[in-house]
A and B are shown apart, each in its own frame.
Chain A
Amino acid sequence: MKIVVCVKQVPDTAGGVKFKADGTLDRAAMLTIMNPDDKAGLEAALRIKDEIGATVVAVTMGLPKAEEVLREAMAMGADEGILVTDRVLGGADTWATSTTLAGAIRAIPDYDLIITGRQAIDGDTAQVGPQISEHLNLPVISYAEDLKVEGDSVIVKRQYDDRYHMVKAQMPCLVTALAELNKPRYMTPGGIFDAYDTEITVMNRKDLVDVEDKNLGLVGSPTQIARASDKVRKGAGEVVNLDPAESVAYIMGKLKEKHVI
């Protein structure tokens, strides 16, 4: 079987966040990691590979620098890496990102399963996975806590707010992985060597299948940024030094004022 795993190179949020003049993120100026949910998705794919055998194809969309995240995926055990990169794809919102990745996945022959992370730590939207599945007209199971392959189906433990569902879907289908799914393996030294010996496939705009220009990049993004800014750290509020009864009255007053009670 063939498993496509979408991985994203994300800024390490501990390193600080920078913007370009147009309000979009200046990704080039930040340190990067493989998005944690995606890494769990990759690990899930590699475990299926270990257990029943599979070809694992890691796909990423980004600047040429995003090749690094594919090398990491291959050093962990992915068989192939595909970098989708083109100037015209830049500035994409989730919609235009999903049309791009769907276009890239259509160019991959005979895949059975697509795994994406639930969400990336830069945008936190959780939208791209379900949107890809819609463009490809595939079933989607989001928020996977557990995943196994049984014959031509996947069985997924799908997390909800107060319960989980055991869900069965026929492949091909798309699953979005939670970081809780597993503990991703480390890269191995041999894996790192092999990863740098393996050719990475680069896809440009022209390689995307069945996508119109109007659905790509900044131009193809329905949402537009009105303004963006770093969060201003909030300052100290009021501090009071009262006797216990007055302190309680003070807190009760604030809870009422703020409609908490």
Chain B
Amino acid sequence: MGLEQYKGVYVYAQQVDNEISGIAFELLGEANKLAKDLDTDVTAVLVGCDVAPLVDQLAAYGADKVIVVDDPELKEYRTEPYTHALASVINEFKPDIMLVGATAIGRDLGPRVSARVQTGLTADCTILEIGEFKARGDKEPRKGQLLMTRPAFGGNTIATIACPNHRPQMATVRPGVMQAQEPVEGATCEVINYNPGFTPDNKYVEILEIVKNVNEVVDIMDAKILVSGGRGVGSAENFAMLQDLADVIGGTVSCSRAVVDNGWMPKDLQVGQTGKTVRPNVYFAIGISGAIQHTAGMEESEIIIAINKDETAPIFDVADYGIVGDLNKIVPALTEALKAALA
């Protein structure tokens, strides 16, 4: 079958506990952009048990079609039945592009599905675009190819990948990078119920126990917004000010090494060479001077906003927006302004 028979941009609409994960909406937003360039439509693939009520939400966020695979074997995520579901949908409906979130589920499901349907997979993409690509052995570039850009080597390099001779072109996409559309209430879409049949075998592993994180031990590496404080914050007590800001904007508090050395904050919140490498959408560097050991762990952040009273602080060399000023005045006022704006 020719590659041109594969059509449409498909999104794996991840749900957990019958609640759609944010990444699914982000993927639908991105899929709509790609579909426009290709003059095609967007299909969400919804896999689970009793998930039909979630269809409307997918329509609201931009799905033209939803393929629902509903089966009791799909109650909890397990690699095999979910792989069978998604691979069967791909083989039956033949998408041109298949996007999956680069979550702890998607990074297991994506590779297994790609191996089953025998196509390439590009991991953790941060930019997707439709463009031309000259494949090995081709004389002319081909149009309408999915170009998938991803960081590698811990962010030291950027590579753009194509998958010219196999379909679907598959990518996992890093959460928090793509934009969801504004939902359209009351939007409808075509719904296709599809069940390929599920026959448990040794690959259907047994889940003995499910333990949800109760006291939200947040990993700063997963945070989309970090409110990070340094020595300039002055004391452990003053970190309450940063926590207030984080609470209002939906962020997480992190810190520099000096803060950990002073015993103000625990080590697992430390950003930098001897701490964690973070890449949030927004990084507030508050009272952080910005030594190279610190910036090595955060310069990949999408937007860096630095507040520091010392205008010669090296943090201003990596910040997108630098504010020279007194953090004790600016931070509480910013928290109030955000409260008002988000109310």
Whether, in the assembled complex, A198 has its beta carbon less than 8 Å from a beta carbon of chain B, the answer is no
Whether, in the assembled complex, B164 has its beta carbon less than 8 Å from a beta carbon of chain A, the answer is yes
Whether, in the assembled complex, A190 has its beta carbon less than 8 Å from a beta carbon of chain B, the answer is no
Pairwise interchain contact A163-B211, C-beta atoms closer than 8 A:
yes
Pairwise interchain contact B303-A258, C-beta atoms closer than 8 A:
yes
**Known: A93-B120, A230-B157. Contact between A126 and B318, CB under 8 A?**
no
Name the interface residues of B289-333: CB closer than 8 Å to any CB of A.
299, 303-305, 307, 311, 316-326, 329-330, 333
- Closest approach, in angstroms, between the C-beta of B286 and any C-beta of chain A? 11
Name the interface residues of A105-134: CB closer than 8 Å to any CB of B.
121-131, 133-134
Pairwise interchain contact A98-B320, C-beta atoms closer than 8 A:
no
Whether, in the assembled complex, B139 has its beta carbon less than 8 Å from a beta carbon of chain A, the answer is no
Whether, in the assembled complex, A51 has its beta carbon less than 8 Å from a beta carbon of chain B, the answer is no
Pairwise interchain contact A121-B124, C-beta atoms closer than 8 A:
no
Pairwise interchain contact B114-A121, C-beta atoms closer than 8 A:
no
Pairwise interchain contact A124-B162, C-beta atoms closer than 8 A:
no
Chain B residues in the interface with A (C-beta under 8 A): 16, 76-80, 83, 103-105, 107-108, 110-112, 114-116, 118-124, 133, 135-136, 147, 151-166, 179, 202-213, 222, 225, 249, 281-282, 299, 303-305, 307, 311, 316-326, 329-330, 333-334, 337-338, 341-342
Chain A residues in the interface with B (C-beta under 8 A): 11, 13, 16-17, 19, 23, 93-95, 98, 121-131, 133-135, 137-143, 155, 159-170, 173, 218, 221-231, 233-245, 247-252, 254-255, 258-261
- Extra contacts besides A159-B104, A164-B210, A225-B160 (17): CB < 8 Å: A122-B152, A123-B123, A127-B111, A129-B111, A134-B111, A134-B115, A161-B104, A162-B212, A165-B207, A167-B78, A222-B120, A222-B165, A230-B157, A236-B318, A239-B322, A248-B333, A260-B225
Question: What would 16 A/B residue contacts be, using CB atoms closer than 8 Å?
Answer: A124-B152, A134-B83, A160-B104, A162-B212, A163-B211, A167-B78, A224-B162, A227-B159, A228-B158, A229-B157, A234-B299, A244-B330, A251-B305, A251-B321, A251-B323, A254-B303
